[in-house]
């Protein structure tokens, strides 16, 4: 979701990125501490934060200058501790003061909680069990269950695809910007070189 159409931050943040920012609003944390907080928050569901998801996410937020990492010497090795930047804190404040954004987050959280809830998973399991025990009706229910699962899988694929497309657009806009900057610098360089050449020619004439 975009934080604020008229606000400071124009980038796109996923629900899980919003949750990570929330874990850091009070103090800096190590990556494993962030995952522990998320696991505790979702302990009643089947969602389990994995390092393969969280650490790349932290790197993305750091590249966006929303987070920054500090190398802490623990005695045996250096470990990264993550904290909100000034920009990150402004985003948190913006979220807290924007009712429209809060409604979007509440909807995402409700959907997230339900999709990973035990009741939803039990519902799917029950459909499967009924499909195994009942012949004709069971086959129809199993087919419905498969269609539901396929529909959810397709929806999440589309969400992921759309998010990747948005990220590609952002990257392309950054490339275009830097190409334009490079072009301007090259033009300035040529102008300077031409000026040097003209001055040297005048110098030869006067000599």
| Residue 204 resides in a domain | no
**Residue 141: CB atoms within 10 Å:** 18
User: How many domains, in total, are found in the chain?
Assistant: 1
Sign of CA dihedral 84, 87, 90, 95: negative
* Residue 91: CA count within 13 A, CB half-sphere: 27
CATH code (residue 90): 1.10.10.10
- State which residues form the domain around 75: 1-116
pTM here is 0.46
Which band of pLDDT confidence, cut at 50, 70 and 90, is reported for residue 29?
A: very high
Least confident of 21-30, 44-53, 95-104, 177-186: 95-104
| Residue 16 resides in a domain | yes
How many angstroms separate the CA atoms of 12 and 100, rounded? Answer: 16
Residues 6+ apart with CB under 8 A from 128: 142, 145
Range from 79-83, 99-103, 157-161, 181-185 that averages highest in pLDDT: 79-83
pLDDT, tens digit, for every residue of 53-65?
899 999 999 999 9
User: Residue 69 in 3-state DSSP?
Assistant: strand
């Amino acid at each position: 979701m975009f934080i604020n159409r008229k606000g400071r931050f124009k980038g796109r943040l996923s629900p899980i990125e919003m949750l990570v920012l929330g874990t850091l609003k009070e103090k800096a944390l190590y990556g494993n501490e962030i995952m522990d907080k998320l696991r505790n928050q979702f302990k009643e569901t089947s969602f389990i934060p994995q390092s393969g998801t969280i650490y790349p996410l932290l790197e993305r937020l750091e590249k966006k200058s929303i987070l920054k990492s500090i190398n802490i010497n623990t005695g045996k090795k250096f470990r990264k501790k993550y904290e909100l930047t000034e920009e990150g804190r402004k985003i948190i404040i913006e979220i807290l003061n924007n009712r429209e954004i809060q409604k979007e987050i509440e909807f995402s959280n409700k959907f997230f909680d339900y999709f990973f809830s035990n009741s939803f998973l039990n519902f799917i399991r029950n459909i499967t069990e009924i499909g195994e025990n009942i012949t004709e009706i069971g086959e129809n229910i199993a087919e419905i269950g498969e269609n539901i699962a396929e529909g959810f899988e397709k929806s999440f694929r589309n969400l992921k695809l759309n998010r990747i497309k948005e990220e590609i657009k952002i990257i392309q806009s950054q490339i275009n910007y830097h190409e334009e900057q490079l072009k301007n610098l090259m033009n300035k360089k040529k102008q300077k070189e031409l000026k040097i050449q003209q001055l040297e020619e005048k110098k030869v004439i006067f000599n």
